[in-house]
A and B are shown apart, each in its own frame.
Chain A
Amino acid sequence: MAAHERLLMPDGADAISPGRASLGFGLGLRPVHYTQISEARPKLGWLEILSENYLIPGGRPLDWLDRLRADYPMAMHGVSLSIGSTDPLDEDHLRELKRLQRRIEPVWISDHLCWTGVSGGNLHDLLPLPYTPAALAHVAERVMRVQDFLGSRILLENVSSYVSYPFSELTEWEFLVQVAQRADCLILLDVNNVYVSSVNHEFDPRVYLDAVPVDRVRQIHLAGHEDRGDLIVDTHDRAIVDPVWRLYEHARRRFGDVATMIERDADIPPLAELLDELDLARSIAARVDAETSGPAAGAKRAAASATPSLARLEAPGGSASARQAA
């Protein structure tokens, strides 16, 4: 475990479980909920902010941020790092991110495994990369430079996509995993994005999830999407659908107690509605955890499936939950 990641963990969390301590269930913080969250202090393990919303000189948004940060751990989630672009990394943007990082001491900093523009342009969208060795080398090298600059491992999130390239030599999940391994970065697994891309590109989303190493996943995103008939589009404007919930169940079984949150970016409902939706995630997680004999056993079970004899030897002296299970 890199020392710089421990610096980002909330008070004492890394002492319990280096780098993988889950913060439980959270929400993407949106301005429309500032007042409600501040007044009602809902039981949320953490909040994820959209970094770009706070890359501003001052004023009310940063004031809200500081106030809510006093009550909740926060993760910084970016949409414009453009890690896969062939344009040079934007050093001004990185400096701004670093200022925000110092201000709120986030648990994690994340962005997407994609590009957003080239030749100085920005399409404000999460655009898919070709999954080739050249793109892999390009992205991994840039991730390492970003991590060096921020003094922290970052999380890369898989994106929803509508196109793929016939000359890709790797699957999306092979590409994601190899980037993470080569750059030694972490993964933000967006279960809805896996589902959206699986429908659009006709693959089995469970194969994707099963290929992702358990120990690199720190965060899970859930969201709603729009079914347009031919393609489905990641819109974050509605409730999470059943197939995504089922896939989340599969993810929980594989990855165990990973910090999970819901993103809503359009037609944002009252906070209570999102909290109810988050309770659904909690209940699925609780059911899976019960089936797999207690919280945190999911990760152990995944490891166990790979090395059954070692797992048997480890169980008696393992964590409290593992002993309970035994």
Chain B
Amino acid sequence: MTLQAPQALASLQRDFQAYVLHRAPAVLAQVRASGKADAATRMDVYAEGYPLRLLEALQADYPGLYAIAGAQAFDGFGRGFIAAHPSRFRNLRWYGGALASYLATQPPWSARRELADMARFEWAMASSFDGADAEALQREALGAVDPEDWPRLRFCLHPAVRSVELASNVASSWTAQARGEPLPQTQVEEAPARWLLTRRELQVHFRRMAGDEALVFDQMASGASFEAWCSELGELLGEQAAAVRAVECLGQWLADGALAGFTLDPA
């Protein structure tokens, strides 16, 4: 047998990959066996290494999930996820992004809401951690804007900002595992809360947003004007309180380093 054409090379590579992914035996006839090791033993070095390498990447991305699930469960859903999601990523950094939705939909893991929550939380942390760099908007920069013009302000988010919805106390569990402290008992709430993740001094910070803050955060993040935030809040709080609350939220986001800039609509 000779390999004369790229098609033959492609076919060999497909057979090789099929063995690594699901032990399809076609490649074994194309691999040299020796007294030292037969073809399957040799191919198994690759086939066994593949899930281990991906599991290791998942463990590195999800230390909090590993802590709350335990080694055995993590191995169980990790291997399930790997079997259901053959890697199509060149860079392992991006491999585990779909783990939260896998855990949210795949029994028995979906019954433990905190698992998908933690995965969502940690993925958001990781993507904030190495999100794009930008100068955070400083409070002083707004000083030049006439208060009369504030209704026409629109803001853009810092590129490392993330927000996630969590129904369980995984943020506390995450902090506990990071500090090497005992994990708190899992608590799941009826209504999920919104969490804001920001990056300051290259460090990711997170905090729970109040319901009205989350509402106006979505307005702000979608590019709505300050006037539109106030109007959204007005339905909850009344006009006067809405403006005060909107300024409060803005002040908090500036302190968080959550904003990267603003524009002023034409008058």
Tally of contact residues, B, Cβ under 8 A: 52
Assess the A165–B12 pair: CB atoms within 8 A.
yes
Decide if B36 touches A134 in the complex (CB within 8 Å): no
Q: Contact residues of B with A, CB < 8 Å?
A: 1-6, 8-10, 12-14, 16-17, 20-21, 30-32, 34, 36-37, 39, 41-43, 45-46, 49-50, 53-54, 57, 86-93, 128-133, 159-160, 199, 202-203
Selecting from A122-130, A247-255, A297-305, the interface stretch reads A122-130
Closest chain-A Cβ to B25's Cβ sits at a distance in Å of 14
The reply to whether A132 and B2 contact each other, CB–CB distance below 8 Å, is yes
- A231 in contact with B129 (CB, 8 Å): no
Is the pair A202, B88 in contact by a Cβ cutoff of 8 Å? no
Do B4 and A118 touch across chains, with their CB atoms under 8 A apart? no
Q: Is A166 an interface residue (CB 8 A)?
A: yes
In the complex, which of the residues A86, A90, A123, A164 has the most CB atoms of chain B within 10 Å of its own CB atom?
A123
Q: Give the residue of B9, B88, B131 whose beta carbon is less than 8 angstroms from that of A86.
A: B9
For residue A59, CB closer than 8 A to chain B, the reply is: yes
Segment touching B, from A2-10, A49-57, A145-153, A286-294: A49-57
For the complex, is A60 an interface residue (Cβ under 8 Å from B)? yes
Q: Find chain B residues with CB under 8 A from A143 CB.
A: none
What interface size band does chain A fall in?
35 or more
Q: Name which residue of chain A comes closest to B48, CB basis.
A: A233
- Does chain B have a CB within 8 A of A135? yes
Q: Assess the B14–A119 pair: CB atoms within 8 A.
A: yes
Residue with the greatest number of chain B CB neighbours at <10 A, chosen from A80, A85, A93, A118: A118
Determine the chain A residues whose CB is within 8 A of the CB of B32 once the complex forms: 163-166
Task: List B contacts of A200 (CB < 8 A).
Answer: 36-37, 42
Contacts of B6 in A (CB 8 A): 86, 134, 138
Partner of A61, one of B39, B57, B130, B160: B130
Indicate if A174 sits at the interface (CB-CB under 8 A).
Answer: no
Residues of B within 8 A of A123 (CB): 17, 20-21, 46, 50, 87
Cβ of B17 and Cβ of A230 under 8 Å apart? no
Shortest Cβ distance from A80 into B: residue: B90
Task: Tell whether, in the assembled complex, residue A59 and residue B202 are in contact, meaning their CB atoms are under 8 Å apart.
Answer: yes
Contact indicator A52/B92 (Cβ below 8 Å): yes
Closest CB pairs A-B (n = 5): A58-B133, A86-B10, A57-B132, A118-B13, A59-B130
CA distance A160 to B167 in the complex (A): 47
A119 to B133, CA, bound (A): 34
How many Å from the CB of A66 to the closest CB on chain B?
A: 11
Cα–Cα, bound, A52→B94 (Å): 11
The residue on A at minimum CB distance from B45 is A162
A92 CA to B53 CA, complexed, in Å: 24
A124, B12: Cβ atoms under 8 Å? no
Contact among A56, A90, A132 for B90, CB-based, below 8 A: A90
